[in-house]
């Protein structure tokens, strides 16, 4: 077994005091893995990512990053622990140029020029349009920029919140190809996806959340063919 | 179109470049209990916003009881008998549960400044009848014991109930329910479902957006599926459940 | 008319600098700062205190002597004082309010209270007399089309240079980019590793320094008064709104336009004999803009109703 | 929320008020009554204005920072309709309406100005509305100052008090003579408190009425109001009119208390005074501003002592400085530590209007 990068134990969190959307979630991500979190709307998938990033306060449970407890660390410090995050909406700075987006992404990196250059080699599209405002990019291009912005810190784990949301099928393919490449370069991925089949086929393991709790977990392929998962989405008759 | 209570034609709405709603033709019959389902971002709530007047469509028309309401103000649409609830429950936080209901139940004439100042006996009578009606509804919905609490003190589920109570106190013809079960515990969800069924049986036309598919399958007479703003399926629950378009829209294809 | 245009440019540059400062702060913190005018006045009063001759006992209960420093050094020190004041406000007042989730409206009312408090501190400690910087009188000269004193012309040039520098700093420095990033999305900034508390603090300091500079300009052209900031505050709001709240470029142009509008309106036929009402014209324009193009001339569409 | 809790808060407010009045006697062994009369006159007038503001902000959630202009419209319209003298030359107008007719028109004018100022509220969110209302009030003030031929401009209006003082009942003169009061101020004071009494009666009648309920619903959630078939815009405008009308009345009383009317009365600071009183008394309450106003004016009138402590031989400017300084501190302190004021309910403390 590879070493554990992220471990969540019984995480409970929510936006409003006393109303927890997450009600005890356990989750582990190992080095090099792609792990997806699926589940019906309102299951708390995005909330879990936000809680990990310290964007909302965790009221119970603990996080460990590389084996050290980091519960309720401030967000900008979590980033320096090697965790990157791409939110679902507002995932780029629209009034900043692509280059500026990357510079902000590289805020806590020591060798900024070098890392931005690396990104440009990996994503030539961004290099071509580096003086364009991010607000003028198409959905797919934005998603690529968002990925690049999060990657620039060379994180060991990348949290992705519905990277396929609102994209055309072609753009989705591109985004998923990029994610695969990122993973091949050694970055672990924790992915929240609406497109469950796609995500599971693509992942090493999957977690199914339902109403803020773990419902099932297992290997991607196993969950993909589990009738209980379909039931969770489309109901039993 | 005599028994079509609501019908929309070529309804389009987009935000920036993003197409939120693009529905060619869709109509709802009187008395029907229809659920609108679809994955996140399918445009369900936007569709509700359009037909209830909270957003203006880019193009297309909406008819309610054969009247064009395409760009009508929300309050005028509500006065025509179509009342909606909201995905994020909107109760009047700093008013009591009773006041929430009285406000909603009271008609416009009763709300007028002059009448409120003069306080005729007829108004007092109206108010006391309203109070009785509110009490009845609250008891039906099991929030009677909270009548004098501030609405903000209610739990999430109780707020949902209050919003429901508020929408039905005026005996609307059409009820638009935006995720009536969201964030509600299973026991309460049962209660709300049976209430919705009861309302439907009493003849109210109901459109409901809901993510709890099991519940939707159980009580709907008809299901309309939206994906990326467009209509992809329309039929009875059994058909929808096996519709390959729907399964694909929800779970996606393994390879594209 | 040309004279009015020259005066308008001068007033415009003051409002412009102050509007950029206000807009910067609003963009990053969402605070509508009614105490902005008091920071402007602080710039002028501090300069007066640093630079007035030693025997000039108007300030500070007439007990303390001014410092009699070189004028340029005094301006510099005054701007530093303003920055310090803004930083203290953030650390001891607005940050705790933010951490306790105090709503925007409550914070707005707090800035009103702050404005009244600080303004009357000036009245008490810096006296209510109208005063001038210790600068010799100058004769008007013609520059291109405009008649103005060399000093006012310098203010105009300095203002334009400052605006260009601010623009360049915002566009090209790491800090400027971070400020724009926090303005776009605080959440995304923090997940990019930015400590937004620090950025907000720096925003307060730089906004206050700019405001102080605007105060020095204002006092150089006109005079030092305890309530000079409050008198000009609504025009600054107008400038900010006109250009589009939250956009620095818009605030620059909006401020300039308001200044010109105020001074030029004096020359309008229906304004004859009604010079007192010149500010009213600018305020009316602001209200109309808010009603019909609430995002301002350069602002992006944003839900404000 | 139980009735015992209300009465506890009420008792508390009453006690604090009584204590502050006692302070006046304690600190001013000589002439306390005269000081008290002056103080209660201002308290009545400003309290009335704050009651109007509370209809806007407390009931309906409208962030109105142009309240001084409503008071101004009421005062100017009323005075100009009656016999008066105005301007640099003191140009005398001998004809005019009797007081009560002029007053009613003045109040209506203020309400209509409220309607006008309320129009932006249809489209604008809280903080923008604050900027627009304060700007509109400034426009009003600048115009009044500039239209010297009508309003007297900076020279103001004089010789109008008789229109009101001629209705002064005899008993006031008798009892004022005994206590060393100015009978004309005593009459204004009485009028102010009678106005408060009837305004409170009116609002009490309205607050629990369907109309008052509707205003509070607008404050809570406009979308839900519209979804229930109610015209939120019209409700907001009505609220603006009612509050502005009340402010108009208080503006007239203020003019009679001063005896001469100048544009400098209606500066933004007047609005901020009224805001301080409203917050102190309790946002969203009816009687709160009354207590708030009395306590506020006791503080104001006794700050002079503080000024004398700070400055030997304090001059008028220093006295005013200390007063206003305290107003600023009061507003900040209340907003941060007790936004519900003396009488406000903690349950209604959510101040984040949208």
B144 pLDDT higher than 80: yes
pLDDT in tens, C78-123: 999 999 999 999 999 999 998 887 888 889 889 999 999 999 998 8
Under an 8 A CB cutoff, do C116 and D126 touch? no
Q: A224 contacts in B (CB within 8 Å)?
A: 254
A50 pLDDT higher than 50: yes
Q: Note whether B2 contacts A: Cβ–Cβ < 8 A.
A: no
Pairing of strands B59-64, C141-143: unpaired
Give the gap in angstroms from C-alpha A96 to the nearest C-alpha of chain C: 7
Q: Note whether D88 contacts B: Cβ–Cβ < 8 A.
A: no
Instruction: Please state which of the ranges A4-13, B17-26, D62-71, D92-101 shows the lowest mean pLDDT.
Output: B17-26
Q: Interior CA angle at D138 toward D136 and D142, to 5°?
A: 120
- Chain C interface test: which of A47, A90, A104, A157 (most C C-beta within 10 Å): A104
Q: Is the reported ipTM for this assembly greater than 0.90? A: no
Under an 8 A CB cutoff, do D213 and B54 touch? no
Mean pLDDT of chain C: 86
Q: In terms of CA atoms, which chain A residue is nearest residue C188?
A: A91
Q: Which of A19, A139, A198 sits opposite B254 (nearest CB)?
A: A198
Q: A160 contacts in C (CB within 8 Å)?
A: none
- 3-class secondary structure, D93: strand
Q: How far apart are CA B194 and CA D89, in angstroms?
A: 81
Q: The tokens of D24 are what? A: 């006046």
> Which pLDDT does position C265 carry in this prediction?
82
Q: Note whether D213 contacts B: Cβ–Cβ < 8 A.
A: yes
Confidence at C74, pLDDT banded by 50, 70, 90 = very high
Mean pLDDT across the stretch A204-225? 83
Give the gap in angstroms from C-alpha D104 to the nearest C-alpha of chain C: 28
Q: Note whether C301 contacts A: Cβ–Cβ < 8 A.
A: no
Under an 8 A CB cutoff, do C188 and A91 touch? yes
Give the gap in angstroms from C-alpha C20 to the nearest C-alpha of chain A: 17
Q: What percent of chain C shows pLDDT beyond 90?
A: 45
D91 pLDDT higher than 50: yes
Beta bridge partners, C303, equal none
Q: Contact A104/C177 with Cβ under 8 angstroms?
A: yes
Cα→Cα distances D222→B168, C46, D5, Å: 19, 47, 30
Under an 8 A CB cutoff, do C113 and D318 touch? no
- Chain B interface test: which of D229, D238, D348 (most B C-beta within 10 Å): D229
> Which pLDDT does position D307 carry in this prediction?
79
Q: C277 contacts in D (CB within 8 Å)?
A: 142-143, 145-146
Under an 8 A CB cutoff, do C177 and A103 touch? yes
Give the gap in angstroms from C-alpha D139 to the nearest C-alpha of chain C: 5
Q: Interior CA angle at D50 toward D49 and D53, to 5°?
A: 95
Under an 8 A CB cutoff, do A237 and B217 touch? yes
pLDDT in tens, C222-269: 888 888 998 899 999 989 888 877 678 888 999 999 999 888 887 777
Q: Note whether C237 contacts D: Cβ–Cβ < 8 A.
A: yes
Under an 8 A CB cutoff, do D347 and B152 touch? yes
Q: A162 contacts in B (CB within 8 Å)?
A: 40
Q: Note whether B150 contacts D: Cβ–Cβ < 8 A.
A: yes
Under an 8 A CB cutoff, do C188 and A74 touch? no
According to the 3-state scheme, what is the secondary structure of chain B?
CCCEEEEEEEEEEEECCEEEEEEEEEEEECCCEEEEECCCCCCHHHHHHHHCCCCCCCEEEEEECCEECCCCCHHHHHHCCEEECCCCCCCCCCCEHHHHHHHHHCCHHHHCHHHHHHCCHHHHHHHHHHHHHHHHHHHHCCCHHHCCCEHHHCCHHHHHHHHHHHHHCCCCCEEEEECCCCCCCHHHHHHHHHHHHHHHHCCCEEEEECCCHHHHHHHCCEEEEEECCEEEEEECHHHHHHCHHHHHHHHCCCCC
Count of CB contacts below 8 A, A vs B? 65
Confidence at B1, pLDDT banded by 50, 70, 90 = very low
Q: How far apart are CA C52 and CA D126, in angstroms?
A: 43
Mean pLDDT of chain A: 85
Q: How far apart are CA D351 and CA D346, in angstroms?
A: 11
Give the gap in angstroms from C-alpha A200 to the nearest C-alpha of chain B: 8
C305 pLDDT higher than 50: no
Mean pLDDT of chain B: 87
pLDDT in tens, D166-206: 889 888 888 887 787 888 999 999 999 999 999 999 999 99
Give the gap in angstroms from C-alpha B165 to the nearest C-alpha of chain D: 12
| Residue of B215, B172, B189 lying closest to B65 (CA atoms) | B172
CB contact set of A193 (below 8 Å; sequence gap of 6+): A36, A37, A38, A162, A163, A164, A199
Q: How far apart are CA A89 and CA C79, in angstroms?
A: 40
Under an 8 A CB cutoff, do A235 and B238 touch? no
Under an 8 A CB cutoff, do B41 and A166 touch? yes
Cβ count within 10 A of residue B117: 12
Q: How far apart are CA D33 and CA D182, in angstroms?
A: 11
Under an 8 A CB cutoff, do C181 and A104 touch? yes
pLDDT in tens, A38-48: 887 667 888 89
> Which pLDDT does position C304 carry in this prediction?
36
Q: Note whether B44 contacts D: Cβ–Cβ < 8 A.
A: no
Q: Note whether D210 contacts B: Cβ–Cβ < 8 A.
A: yes
Under an 8 A CB cutoff, do C304 and D124 touch? yes
Q: The tokens of B237 are what? A: 């629950």
Instruction: Please state which of the ranges A214-223, C56-65, D14-23, D70-79 shows the lowest mean pLDDT.
Output: C56-65
Under an 8 A CB cutoff, do C192 and A94 touch? no
Q: Which of B18, B182, B215 sits opposite A42 (nearest CB)?
A: B182
Instruction: Please state which of the ranges B172-181, C30-39, D229-238, D316-325 shows the lowest mean pLDDT.
Output: D316-325
Under an 8 A CB cutoff, do C287 and D320 touch? no
pLDDT in tens, C123-176: 888 777 788 887 877 787 877 777 788 888 889 999 999 999 999 998 889 999
Under an 8 A CB cutoff, do D221 and B95 touch? no
Torsion angle of alpha carbons B170, B171, B176, B179, nearest 10°?
A: 80
Domain map (residue ranges) of chain C: 2-292
Q: If phi over 0 gives left and psi between -120 and 50 gives alpha, with beta otherwise, what is residue B222?
A: beta
Q: Interior CA angle at B45 toward B43 and B46, to 5°?
A: 60
Q: Which of D138, D311, D333 sits opposite C234 (nearest CB)?
A: D138
Q: What percent of chain B shows pLDDT beyond 90?
A: 41
pTM of the model: 0.87
Give the gap in angstroms from C-alpha C176 to the nearest C-alpha of chain A: 10
Count of CB contacts below 8 A, C vs D? 146
């Amino acid at each position: 077994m590879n070493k554990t990068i992220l471990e969540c134990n019984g995480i409970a969190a929510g936006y409003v005091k006393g109303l927890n959307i997450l009600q005890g979630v356990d989750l582990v991500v190992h080095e090099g893995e792609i792990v997806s979190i699926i589940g019906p709307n309102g299951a708390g998938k995005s909330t879990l990512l936000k809680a990990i990033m310290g964007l909302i306060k965790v009221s119970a449970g603990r996080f460990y990053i590389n084996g050290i407890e980091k519960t309720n660390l401030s967000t900008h410090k979590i980033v320096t622990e090697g965790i990157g995050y791409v939110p679902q909406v507002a995932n780029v700075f629209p009034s900043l140029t692509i280059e500026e987006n990357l510079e902000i992404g590289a805020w806590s990196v020591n060798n900024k020029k070098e890392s931005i250059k690396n990104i440009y080699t990996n994503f030539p599209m961004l290099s071509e349009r580096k003086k364009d405002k991010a607000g003028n990019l198409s959905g797919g291009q934005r998603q690529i920029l968002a990925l690049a912005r999060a990657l620039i810190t060379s994180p060991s784990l990348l949290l992705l919140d519905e990277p396929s949301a609102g994209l055309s099928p072609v753009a989705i393919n591109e985004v998923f190809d990029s994610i695969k490449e990122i993973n091949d370069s050694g970055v672990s991925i924790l992915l929240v996806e609406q497109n469950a089949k796609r995500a599971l086929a693509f992942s090493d393991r999957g977690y199914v959340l339902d109403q803020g709790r773990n419902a099932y977990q297992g290997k991607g392929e196993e969950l993909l063919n589990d009738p209980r998962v379909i039931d969770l989405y489309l109901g039993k008759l | 179109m005599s028994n079509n209570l609501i019908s929309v034609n070529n309804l389009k709405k987009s935000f920036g470049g993003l197409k939120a709603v693009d529905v060619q033709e869709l109509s709802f019959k009187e008395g029907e209990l229809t659920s609108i389902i679809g994955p996140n971002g399918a445009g369900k709530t936007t569709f509700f916003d359009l037909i209830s007047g909270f957003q203006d469509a880019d193009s297309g028309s909406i008819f309610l009881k054969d009247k064009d309401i395409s760009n009508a103000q929300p309050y005028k649409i509500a006065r025509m008998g179509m009342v909606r609830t909201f995905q994020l429950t909107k109760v009047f936080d700093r008013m009591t549960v009773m006041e929430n209901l009285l406000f909603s139940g009271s008609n416009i004439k009763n709300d007028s400044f002059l009448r409120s100042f003069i306080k005729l006996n007829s108004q007092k009578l109206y108010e006391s009848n309203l109070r009785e009606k509110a009490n009845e509804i609250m008891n039906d919905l099991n929030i009677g014991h909270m009548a004098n609490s501030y609405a903000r003190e209610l739990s999430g589920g109780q707020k949902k109930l209050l919003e429901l109570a508020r929408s039905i106190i005026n005996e609307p013809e059409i009820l638009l329910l935006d995720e009536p079960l969201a964030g509600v515990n299973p026991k309460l969800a049962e209660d709300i479902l049976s209430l919705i069924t009861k309302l439907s049986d009493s003849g109210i036309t109901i459109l409901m957006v809901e993510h709890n598919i099991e519940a939707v399958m159980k009580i709907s007479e008809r299901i309309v599926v939206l994906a990326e703003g467009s209509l992809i399926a329309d039929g009875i629950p059994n058909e929808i459940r096996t519709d390959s378009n729907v399964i694909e829209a929800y779970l996606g294809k393994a390879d594209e | 008319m040309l004279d009015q245009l020259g005066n308008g440019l001068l007033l415009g540059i003051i409002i412009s600098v102050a509007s950029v400062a206000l807009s910067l702060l609003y963009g990053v913190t969402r605070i509508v700062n009614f105490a902005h005018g008091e920071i402007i006045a602080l710039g002028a009063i501090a300069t007066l205190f640093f630079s007035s001759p030693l025997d000039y006992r108007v300030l500070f209960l007439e007990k303390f002597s001014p410092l009699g420093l070189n004028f340029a050094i005094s301006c510099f020190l005054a701007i530093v004082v303003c920055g310090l004041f803004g930083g203290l406000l953030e650390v001891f007042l607005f940050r705790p309010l933010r951490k306790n989730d105090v709503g925007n409206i409550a914070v707005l009312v707090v800035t009103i209270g702050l404005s009244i408090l600080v303004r009357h501190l000036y009245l008490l400690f810096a006296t209510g007399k109208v005063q001038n910087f210790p600068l010799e009188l100058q004769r008007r000269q013609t520059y291109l089309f405009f008649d103005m004193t060399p000093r006012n012309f310098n203010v105009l040039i300095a203002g334009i240079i400052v605006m260009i520098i601010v623009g360049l700093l915002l566009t090209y420095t790491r800090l400027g980019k971070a400020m724009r990033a926090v303005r776009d999305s605080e959440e995304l900034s923090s997940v990019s590793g930015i400590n937004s508390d620090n950025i907000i603090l720096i925003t307060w300091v730089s906004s206050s320094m700019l405001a102080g500079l605007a105060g020095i300009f204002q006092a150089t052209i006109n005079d030092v008064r305890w309530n000079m900031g409050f008198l000009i505050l609504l025009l600054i709001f107008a400038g900010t709104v006109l250009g589009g709240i939250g956009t620095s470029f818009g605030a620059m142009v909006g401020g300039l336009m308001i200044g010109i509008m105020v001074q030029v309106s004096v020359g309008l036929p229906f304004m004859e004999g009604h010079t007192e009402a010149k500010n009213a014209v600018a305020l009316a324009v602001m209200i109309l803009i808010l009603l019909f193009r609430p995002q301002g001339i350069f602002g992006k569409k944003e839900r404000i109703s | 929320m139980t009735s015992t809790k209300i009465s506890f808060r009420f008792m508390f407010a009453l006690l604090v008020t009584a204590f502050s009045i006692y302070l006046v006697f304690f600190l001013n062994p000589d002439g306390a009554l005269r000081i008290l009369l002056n103080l209660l006159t201002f308290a009545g007038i400003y309290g009335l204005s704050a009651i109007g503001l509370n209809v806007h902000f407390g009931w309906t959630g409208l962030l109105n920072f142009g309240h001084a202009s409503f008071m101004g419209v009421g005062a100017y319209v009323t005075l100009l309709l009656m016999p008066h003298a105005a301007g640099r030359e003191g140009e005398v107008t001998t004809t005019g309406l009797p007081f009560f007719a002029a007053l009613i028109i003045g109040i209506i004018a203020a309400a209509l100005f409220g309607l006008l100022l309320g129009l932006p509220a249809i489209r604008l969110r809280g903080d923008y509305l604050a900027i627009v209302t304060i700007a509109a009030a400034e426009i009003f003030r600048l115009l009044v100052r500039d239209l010297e031929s009508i309003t007297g401009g900076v020279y103001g209006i004089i010789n109008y008090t008789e229109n009101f003082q001629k209705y002064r009942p005899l008993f006031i003169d008798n009892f004022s003579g005994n206590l060393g009061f100015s009978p004309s101020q005593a009459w204004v004071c009485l009028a102010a408190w009678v106005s408060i009494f009837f305004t409170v009666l009116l609002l009490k009648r309205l607050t629990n009425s369907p109309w008052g309920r509707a205003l509070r619903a607008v404050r809570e959630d406009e979308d839900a109001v519209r979804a229930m078939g109610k015209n939120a815009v019209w409700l907001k405008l009505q609220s603006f009119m009612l509050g502005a009308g009340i402010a108009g009345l208080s503006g007239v009383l203020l003019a009679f208390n001063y005896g001469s009317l100048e544009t400098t009365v209606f500066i933004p600071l007047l609005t901020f005074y009224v805001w301080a009183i409203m917050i102190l008394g309790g946002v969203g309450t009816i009687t709160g501003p009354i207590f708030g106003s009395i306590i506020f004016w006791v503080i104001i009138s006794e700050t002079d002592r503080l000024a004398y402590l700070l400055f030997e031989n304090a001059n008028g400017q220093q006295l005013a400085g200390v007063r206003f300084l305290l107003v600023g501190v009061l507003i900040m302190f209340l907003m941060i530590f007790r936004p519900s004021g003396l009488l406000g309910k903690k349950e209604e403390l959510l101040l984040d209007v949208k």
